Amino acid sequence: DQRWAGALAQAAARQQLWLQLYGGAVATSREVLSGQSPSMCSLRRTVEKLAPTDVNVLILGESGVGKERVARALHEASGRKRLVALTCAAIPKDLLEAELFGVEKGAFTGALKSRPGLVEQAAGGTLLLDEIGEMDLALQPKLLRFLESRGARRVGSEQEYRSNARLIAATNRDLQAESHHNRFRLDLYFRLAEISLSVPPLRERSEDIPGLVQTFLRLANERFGKNVECVDPALIQQMQAYSWPGNV
């Protein structure tokens, strides 16, 4: 009926106004890395120690555990000026080289102007390569050479440039096992994994779930204009008993 339709329209308008005014906070790296489980406490301590260094870091873990959050926490604590991120699986393999290392005008059909790659853009900062296990085998030697020499060339160029970008890579694959099947270079793996960090799955740290619930409850309150203060303890227990195949 008309009354219900009017009430719903008003409620929707108020909700839209709230979102326009206040938006909705995004969980910070510190919040998502929160938790009192021994594994998360150890991970935070390691992040704090590694952040000021220049070592390459390989972050391992299942999908959804928060590998990118760990990478961002490393960057935020490093003092470096910018973070440039790329998901390797999101770029077609024939375009990934140009995306990473840049391209000169006319190097191939569609290259209408010269442009720097992410390696150049990340100079003085951090380059995050997510899903590194998806990188085409033919491109891996060029990444390896960059890690060894800090030099690279744009596609179609003979001039080399240098970049001091700190590299952080992340994957849910076992890259050593992939190398045995000739799907990933073992020498590149060793270069990427100067230090390896493993992010534990949520099912192995159920004691962190109450804190995560409070974090996401606060974010939901801010996003939707609500004031829900707590969650039924029985529901928390159900969450702790769940296997969380999608993790956080």
Q: What is the pLDDT of residue 217?
A: 93
Q: Which two tokens stand for residue 131?
A: 């899903």
Q: Which two tokens stand for residue 223?
A: 């996003």
Q: What is the pLDDT of residue 33?
A: 77
User: Residue 206 carries which DSSP code?
Assistant: G
Residues in CB range of 32: below 8 A, 6 or more apart: 66, 69, 212, 215, 248
Query: What is the C-alpha to C-alpha distance for residues 236 and 134, in angstroms, rounded to an integer?
Result: 36
Q: What is the 3-state secondary structure (H, E, C) of 11-39?
A: HHHHHHHHHHHHCCCCCCHHHHCCCCCHH
- CB 85 within 8 Å of CB 128: yes
Q: What is the pLDDT of residue 157?
A: 85
Question: Nearest CA to 174 among 61, 57, 46, 45?
Answer: 61
Q: Mean pLDDT for each consecutive 10-residue tract of the chain (248 residues)? A: 67 55 49 81 94 96 94 94 95 91 78 86 96 96 96 90 96 96 96 97 95 91 91 94 95
The number of beta carbons lying within 10 Å of the beta carbon of residue 241 is 10
Q: What is the pLDDT of residue 107?
A: 66
Q: Which two tokens stand for residue 37?
A: 């489980």
Query: Could you tell me the CA-to-CA distances from 46 to 70, 77, 203, 229, 231 in Å, in that order?
Result: 10, 12, 21, 33, 32
Side chain identity at residue 105, one-letter code:
K
- What are the two backbone dihedrals, phi and then psi, of residue 85, each rounded to the nearest 5 degrees? -120, 145
Query: What is the C-alpha to C-alpha distance for residues 95 and 79, in angstroms, rounded to an integer?
Result: 31
- What are the two backbone dihedrals, phi and then psi, of residue 239, each rounded to the nearest 5 degrees? -65, -40
> pTM of whole model > 0.75?
yes
Give one DSSP letter per residue of 139-176, joined into a string: THHHHHHHHHHSEEE-BT---EEE--PEEEEEESS-HH
Q: What is the pLDDT of residue 35?
A: 86
